[in-house]
Structure 1
Amino acid sequence: MKIDWFTVIAQIINFMVLMWLLKRFLYKPILASIDERETKIKNQLLDAESQKKEAAQAKDEFNHKNEIFNKEKDELMQKAASEAKIEGDTLKENARKEAIALKQKLEKAFTEDQAIKNNDMAKRIGNEVLDIARKALTDLSSASLEAQTLAVFLKRIHELKDTEKVNFSEALKGGEPILVQSAFALSTNQQTSIEKTVKELLKTENSFEFKTQPELINGIEILANGYKLSWSISDYLKSFEENAETAKGLN
């Protein structure tokens, strides 16, 4: 059999041309598309990994800041409570000394003359002393003392006995607003602190109403459906006034 070399060479050339055309117009675009898609997927994976690392870093930073905030808050609360205790002890000691001095004056007046005139005079002296004490304590009120008063009041809420908690919770069952009265205007943060403390302690969703009551003399009280929880300097003065009245009756 005779080989037709012209045909063989022509077919070889045709095959090479076909291979070149396939490579040029088919394989290259497909390979380029595959490479492009592979690169895109790699970039997406790298972006996802980067975002994951950033999210983890942000979470760690948030937790760290939260820990610092809680630590600083606890330190401030402890400091405020300590300062409030010192301030309260000082006020109680001063009130005690004033009560002793007043009692001595009353005893002297009753000893000298048991007449009604002298009794009225002793009562007037006692009222004047109380008025002076109220005015002096009101004039001494300051932002620092108000903050300490709030800290002591919150501490008192936290230290409620179980029976007091039960009574407080029973008073809130009607759903009526909780009235908070204070001798000074409470800031938004101070109001939030009271609300948060009561809600966390008693698990209640009652609304709150805040009013200013200067008669409390640097104090705060909570009223809810007959239940009352308070702390104020006026409580000490009232106790002092009752003791003075009792002392007069004994004489």
Structure 2
Amino acid sequence: MKIDWFTVIAQIINFVVLMWLLKRFLYQPILSAIDEREGNIKKQLLDAESQKKEANQAKDEFYHKNETFKREKDQLMQKVTAEAKAEGDRLKEKARNEANDLKISLEKAFTEDQATKNSTMVKRLKGEVLDIARKTLKDLSSVSLEEQTITVFIERINGLKAHEKAEFSEALKGGKPVLVQSAFALSTKQQGLVQKTVSELLKTENTFEFKTRPELITGIEILTNGYKLAWSVTDYLGTFEADVEASGK
């Protein structure tokens, strides 16, 4: 059998050309795509690892800040508690000293003039007691006490007896202006409540003016056309003072 070398060589050349073409246009793009895909995967893994580190770092920072906040909060609470306790102790000590001073003053007064009961000394002591009472009530005034004052005053209006309602209604006839004075500034809501209570109770329409008088000492009063309706600690102190004066005679 005779070998056709031309055909063999041509087939070898065709095979080599085919291999080159496959490598150039098929295998190489596939390998490049695989390398690029592998590179992208590695990059994504690196990004994910970086994000994980950043997340852990942020978590650690948040935990640290949270611990710092809790520690500062506890320190602040301890400081406030200590200051409140110290202030409470100081006020207690002050009240105790004032009570002891008043006791000493009373004992001294009775010792110096037990037989004659010097009227001047007695009046001075009575005045001091009333002044201390007024000062204490003024110092104890608070938003809660003011709200209670308004509540009590509204109850006082609603609890007027028939003849008191008649006198009040008579004073309001003709749309007479109404002056409301209080020891503390009334809020818009409180002003509206007083005005609504008076108007609904007496079926009248009047203009209202609100003023502040600190000397009322936690009190409030209504003045109109010579009529006065009031509630305040001052009234109680006035009654108490009158009783003391009467008992000292």
Matched, 1:113 2:121: no
Q: Which runs of 5+ in 1 are unaligned?
A: 1-100
In the TM superposition, what are the counterparts of 1:230-245 in structure 2 within 5 Å? Answer: 230-245=230-245
Rounded to whole Å, the distance in 2 between the matches of 1:129 and 1:179 is 32
Partner letter of residue 212 of structure 1?
Answer: T
- The offset of 1:226, in angstroms, is 1.2
In the TM superposition, what are the counterparts of 1:123-202 in structure 2 within 5 Å? Answer: 123-202=123-202
* Match in the other structure for 1:20: none
Rounded to whole Å, the distance in 1 between the matches of 2:179 and 2:147 is 19
- The offset of 1:159, in angstroms, is 0.9
Partner letter of residue 185 of structure 1?
Answer: A
- The offset of 1:225, in angstroms, is 1.1
- The offset of 1:176, in angstroms, is 2.2
- The offset of 1:248, in angstroms, is 1.1
* Match in the other structure for 1:6: none
Report how many residues are paired.
146
Partner letter of residue 131 of structure 1?
Answer: D
Partner letter of residue 183 of structure 2?
Answer: A
* Match in the other structure for 1:208: 208
Post-superposition Cα deviations, 1:173-205, rounded to whole Å, max 9, x if no partner, equal 143210101000000000000000000000111
Rounded to whole Å, the distance in 1 between the matches of 2:113 and 2:163 is 46
- The offset of 1:214, in angstroms, is 0.8
Rounded to whole Å, the distance in 1 between the matches of 2:170 and 2:207 is 15
Q: Which structure 1 residue ranges, 4+ long, deviate > 3 Å from structure 2? A: 105-111
- TM-score, normalization: structure 1? 0.54
Taking structure 1 as reference, are residues 110 and 207 closer, same or farther at Cα in structure 2, changes over 3 Å only? farther
- The offset of 1:109, in angstroms, is 7.9
Partner letter of residue 124 of structure 1?
Answer: R
* Match in the other structure for 1:95: none
Rounded to whole Å, the distance in 1 between the matches of 2:141 and 2:161 is 30
Post-superposition Cα deviations, 1:208-230, rounded to whole Å, max 9, x if no partner, equal 01110111110111111111111
In the TM superposition, what are the counterparts of 1:212-231 in structure 2 within 5 Å? Answer: 212-231=212-231
Task: Report if the CA contact (8 A) 2:175-2:204 is conserved.
Answer: no
Task: Report if the CA contact (8 A) 2:180-2:211 is conserved.
Answer: yes
Taking structure 1 as reference, are residues 224 and 235 closer, same or farther at Cα in structure 2, changes over 3 Å only? same
Asked which structure has the greater RCO (Cα within 8 Å, sep 6+), the reply is: 1
Taking structure 1 as reference, are residues 125 and 109 closer, same or farther at Cα in structure 2, changes over 3 Å only? farther
Give the root-mean-square deviation of aligned CA atoms: 2.5
- TM-score, normalization: structure 2? 0.55
Q: Which has the larger radius of gyration?
A: 2
Taking structure 1 as reference, are residues 110 and 240 closer, same or farther at Cα in structure 2, changes over 3 Å only? farther
Query: Equivalent residue of 1:242, what SS?
Result: helix
Partner letter of residue 245 of structure 2?
Answer: E
Query: Equivalent residue of 1:155, what SS?
Result: helix
Rounded to whole Å, the distance in 1 between the matches of 2:124 and 2:160 is 38
Identity %: 61
Post-superposition Cα deviations, 1:27-75, rounded to whole Å, max 9, x if no partner, equal xxxxxxxxxxxxxxxxxxxxxxxxxxxxxxxxxxxxxxxxxxxxxxxxx
Query: Equivalent residue of 2:179, what SS?
Result: strand
Rounded to whole Å, the distance in 2 between the matches of 1:145 and 1:212 is 16
Partner letter of residue 112 of structure 1?
Answer: Q
- The offset of 1:110, in angstroms, is 11
